[in-house]
Structure 1
Amino acid sequence: MDNQVIYHNANIYTMNNADGRDRFGFSPAGDRGVRRASAIAVRDDKIVAVGVHADAESALAGRYRKVDLQGLTVVPGFTDCHIHLLWYALKFSQVDLGCVESVEEVRKRIRKAALESEEGQWIIGHGWSHSCLANAHPHRVQLDDAAPNNPIVLFSKDRHSIWVNSLALAMAGIDRNTPDPDGGVIERDPNTHEPTGILRENAQPLINRVIPVPDFGMCKEAIARVIPYLHQLGITGIHDCGDEVSFGVLQELLAEDNRELLTEDNLDLRICEMIPLHNLDSAIKLGVRTGFGNAGLRVGPLKVFVDGALGSGTAALLEPYSDNPDNVGVCAITEEELTDIISRASKSGISVAAHAIGDRAVRMALDALEKSKAGRRPDDTAPLHNRIEHAQLVSPVDLRRFASLDVIASIQPIHATSDRYMADKAWGARSSIGYPMRSLAENGVRLAFGSDAPVEEPDPIQGIFAAVTRKRHDELSQPGWHTEQCLTVEEAVRGYTTGAAYASGEEHIKGSIAPGRLADFVILSKDIFTVNPLEIADTKVLGTVVGGKVVFDQIRLKGD
């Protein structure tokens, strides 16, 4: 890494809060009011000056390198605020069922995997969905003869349902007499009461506990391989919905004695690691608090599930599903339990990220946050940045409550366009208030954006495109979906930058291009603030810089 570098002749959108902006950093004039610059001076891992070329030069002494960006656009580094990093890394070694449109195609791919597997070895797949399977009914018997000597588990795209064969059920000891766990569903044949092989929500751990845990070394190698790809997408940081395995892997990868797993430029990624609910008591006992760590790896919020997901029909709704009047979804927890969990976490200095997709779950999460009086650390020093993950369907009466309770809406814009047809079918007229990014913003709610990878690809550019146009990249000629919920480009970019930094309590060190901030920024092929919004989808990341180090380079940022 060069000790001192000036990047000049650039089109820089700093996203830095300037005079005239509101407390969320938005310009009254919209995108035209975003603070601009043409040069950045970097020393070591920090930005020391932002302005014109002369400003950058006057901030450095001694030798420095100069990089002419030839008018290219620069924005702060993107943070994916909701990603399952280990799941995403491991999916490349599993059977890919994404976009599979028939049960027979699933069987075909399982047969192929069985030929490549030893007898008794688990076959693991991912990505199937009811909507893609043309309303077919997945069943264990459909998998049994595809791989009769191998237990099979297939994770749905939303990861809220699994499809297993009879051998897997037997290994887990699940039969007609096994009761549904609280907050979970073992789907059963209506005539025989035998399990069909579909398990939803809190029933999934019954299978997960008998699946061999991936080898720790394999997990390290998988994550090491995927980090360079994240750099290619302009990602400089993530909020990882992981567990003790992924946290352990990340700590080892950050240790000096594990650098042999990574090439020179592939390690740098700022990680905010969430705490799974089953580790809350241990975290409290150890005195671990949200914010422990450093700019490389820090402890994030407690992750707690309130409901399921749209694709599995388990998102908890105030009114029944339009396509299934007998279904209102599944609550994974009671309000009393949730309130107690949030209270205990808050008193111990741990913020909360509550997974809530349906409007009933969102209301339950807001009620619990309000009743628990979460929001301050026990020493009353800095606020706890609590958040609701997904918030895909929000009752209009609950919109203002996010802001009044200072709760962040952590949303994945790409879900709005990926799920649009499924939402129209399941929610009917309610889909008009689905994925309400504009409504939340207008009610003063802080937004933080992510992808939910591996559910979707962790591509911030596509997320920005979805937030701004409410279109799918493969349906550009089609009308946007409920475009009254579109955001401006500035608002969308802030979701991945300043909003992301606030969500992890790092707004003082990252998220904008300003003196004293970490030198994390991205060079883009197009000015996404001024091009036709449809062109945003084709914008490429040309370079990514993390802590002053060039980690992805398509334009010779490092020189010859």
Structure 2
Amino acid sequence: MTLLLGARVLDPGAPAGPAAVEIVDGTITRVAPARAERGDHVVHLDGAVLTPAFVDAHVHATSTGLLVDGLDLTGCPSPQALLDAVRTRTAARPGALVWGHGWQEQEWDAPVPTRAEIDRAAGGAPVYLSRIDVHSALVSGALAAPGTPDGPVTADPHHHARRAALAAVDAPVRDAAQRAFLADAAARGIGVVHECAGPDISSRADLAALLRTDGPDVVGYWGEAVTTADEARALLAATGAHGLAGDLFVDGSIGSRTAALCTPYTDAPDSTGIRYLDADAVAAHLAACTAAGIQAGFHVIGDAAAAMLVDGLRRSGRAGVRHRVEHLEMVDAAQMAVLAEHGVVASVQPLFDAYWGGGTGMYAARLGPRAGAMNPFAALHAAGVVLALGSDSPVTPIGPWDAVRAAVGHRTPGSGLTTAQAMSAHTVGGYRAAGDADPLAGRIAPGAPASYALWDREGGTCLRTVQRGRVLHDTLGDEHRPLVP
């Protein structure tokens, strides 16, 4: 028996002051006000904070882990700075793949680099530099499909270039990237991640390798559409996925102007984005997965994509399994009611609003007055839609406290959650998003699995992460180490 003594527990049913949390054989057996107690192993935690281990409901492990040794272009101030970074990297590693991520062009005072400029900077090496939303990229000629227009690649040319770049990553490098990502997630108090894989994002081998890697629990999704129940079962078996959901693209992103809109972009009046699937394909995928008892889901951002999702839900009938939708940034009240009626979980990313919301942010530039209705977390919660918080890493960094703060401090007044709602969405909501109906999953309560994170203070540094009794991260030393069966 392990006794965690004296920490403040952030759970709706926990005592208001310092608590005693008893753990036996990987299960929480008691949560009560702290007092002088004895046990097989007592860990004194005066002043610390104990939370459930967080769930990041949308990640891309390999592409995030590759940035440990890649080019982090977040905040890159100019096209010239980007080219200089490529030139420096290829000088150190001639001919090797240059993998980078994070550039944004809104504040640049010059055009994005041409493919010829990237090729000159790279000396002919393959270069893949994803925009921060990962729905477009700057690539070298070595990765571009024949006939691809110059400039950032989107849609199928982007998917081609990304597959070619990932094919240049060998298994040892991939495995190291995945281990680095999972270790970092554990060090940030995360016990479960939902990997959103698919043929246009990663590969079956990539997902299989991640599912074998030690660390936080990985719930793997494969984003590929099917039309029959037999096809759904075969694809699930072939990929080892938990469901045929995640980044199954109905559309793209606002930043790359590939999200599907009902009316044109304010700053691109000839464009309404891209539609990868129509309502027929959405309905067919939902019906096939429902018949097979498999969780389905889609990547949906623009209002036209939300309309297709809702149309597909209505046509496919009520599900016996809980389906999910990723991002869901533009959705109206009537659509929210349909989602709630069908039990759909919305996997959302609060840092999107923190990065791009507000009256002068990227959303406002792309959408004009429509930007004020983006990411309506409070309205979704009020409508009865279960929310699960995540990062979409590497789009925004993993970090549950940052996500909680962003959800509470939404840049559109009235659209934010309370702290308790945000905490629940980043813990309990993550389990609901994976179809886990256990009322104790994501809780610090008697009968719950011992899945917790220990912090030096609320929103501070993670001292220990434990998932179902497994210690994933620990800085306290042997004298504070729990007994693990």
Q: Deviations over 1:216-269 (max 9, x none)?
A: 22222222223222122110111111242233213433xxxxxxxxxxxxx331
Shift of 1:447: 0.6
What secondary structure is seen at the aligned counterpart in 1 of 2:260? Answer: coil
Cα distance change on mapping 1:64 and 1:462 into 2, 3 Å:
same
Q: Which amino acid aligns with 1:41?
A: E
Partner of 1:270: 217
Q: Partner residue of 2:284?
A: 340
**What is the match of residue 13 of structure 1?**
10
Mapping for residues 216-231 of structure 1, pairs under 5 Å: 216-231=171-186
Larger deviation, residues 127-136 vs 217-226: 127-136
- Asked if residue 447 in structure 1 is aligned to residue 362 in structure 2, the reply is no
- Is 1:487 aligned to residue 417 of structure 2? yes
Q: Which residue of 1 aligns with 2:399?
A: 459
Q: Alpha-carbon deviation of 1:73?
A: 2.2
* 1:357 aligns with one of 301, 315, 318: 301
Partner of 1:250: 210
Deviation at 1:557, TM superposition (A): 7.5
Q: Residues of 1 paired with 2:103 and 2:182: CA distance?
A: 25
Q: Which residue of 1 aligns with 2:450?
A: 519
Change (3 A) 1:197 1:410: same
Does residue 203 in structure 1 map to residue 124 in structure 2?
Answer: no
Change in Cα spacing, 1:424 to 1:468, as seen in structure 2 (3 Å) is: same
Contact 2:322 2:435 in 1 (8 A): yes
How far is 1:77 from its partner? 0.7
Amino acid at match of 1:118: P
Name the CA distance, whole Å, in 2 between partners of 1:142 and 1:522. 47
Give the counterpart letter for 1:520 in structure 2. S
Would the aligned equivalents of 1:289 and 1:348 in 2 still touch at CA under 8 Å?
no
- Alpha-carbon spacing, 1:122–1:222, altered in 2? closer, same or farther (3 Å): closer
TM-superposition CA deviations, 1:464-509 (whole Å, max 9, x none):
0101112xxxxxxxxxx21211211000001111111111122416
Mapped to 2, the partners of 1:241 and 1:98 lie a distance apart of 22
Q: Do the aligned partners of 1:15 and 1:494 also contact (CA within 8 Å) in 2?
A: no
Aligned to 1:309: 253
Report the Cα offset of residue 111 of structure 1: 0.9
- Classify the secondary structure of the residue corresponding to 1:203: helix
Instruction: Return closer, same or farther for 1:487/1:8 CA change in 2, 3 Å cut-off.
Output: same
Match in the other structure for 1:261: none
Aligned with 1:445: secondary structure? coil
Alignment coverage as a number of residue pairs? 469
5+ residue gaps, structure 2, are 198-202
Whether 1:397 and 2:334 are equivalent positions in the alignment is yes
Separation in 2 of the partners of 1:469 and 1:285? 42
Opposite residue 320 of structure 1, the aligned amino acid is P
Q: Please, which runs of 5 or more residues in structure 1 have no aligned partner?
A: 17-32, 58-62, 176-185, 187-194, 254-266, 377-383, 471-480, 528-535
- C-alpha deviation, 1:53, in angstroms: 4.6
Task: Please state whether the residue corresponding to 2:480 is helix, strand or coil.
Answer: coil
Judge conservation of contact 2:98–2:126 (CA < 8 Å) in 1: yes
Partner of 1:387: 324
- Name the Cα RMSD after superposition: 2.8
Task: Give how far 1:135 is off.
Answer: 6.5
**Given that residues 413 and 463 in structure 1 are in contact (C-alpha distance below 8 angstroms), is that contact kept between their aligned partners in structure 2?**
yes
Q: Which has the larger radius of gyration?
A: 1
Query: 1:496 and 2:426 equivalent?
Result: yes
Pick closer, same or farther for the CA change 1:352–1:278 going to 2, 3 Å.
closer
Name the structure 1 match of 2:190.
235
Report Cα offsets for 1:386-439 as digits up to 9, x if no partner: 111101121343222221221111100111111121011111111111110011
Q: Aligned runs of 1:40-119 on 2, under 5 Å?
A: 40-53=21-34, 64-119=40-95
Per-residue deviation, 1:54: 7.3
Alpha-carbon separation, structure 1, partners of 2:254 and 2:340: 25
Say which SS state the counterpart of residue 259 (structure 2) adopts.
coil
SS of 2:164's partner is coil
Equivalent residues in 2 for 1:167-186 (5 A)?
167-169=142-144, 172=145, 174-175=146-147
C-alpha contact 1:45 1:519 (8 A) present in aligned 2? yes
| Cα deviations by residue, 1:429-457 (Å, 9 ceiling, x for unpaired) | 11111110011111121110000001111
Amino acid at match of 2:224: L
Identity of aligned residues (%): 26
| DSSP-derived class of the 1:272 partner | strand
1:36 is displaced (CA, Å) by 7.9
Instruction: Single out whichever of 197-206 and 101-110 deviates more from structure 2.
Output: 197-206
User: 2:399, 2:127 → 1: CA distance?
Assistant: 30
Task: Indicate if the aligned counterparts of 2:310 and 2:338 stay in contact, CA closer than 8 A.
Answer: yes
Letter in 1 for 2:474: D
2 CA distance for matches of 1:499 and 1:37? 26
Instruction: Classify the secondary structure of the residue corresponding to 1:49.
Output: strand
Partner of residue 125, structure 2: 150
Give, in angstroms, the shift of residue 205 of structure 1: 2.6
Deviation at 1:165, TM superposition (A): 2.9
Q: SS of 1:454's equivalent?
A: coil
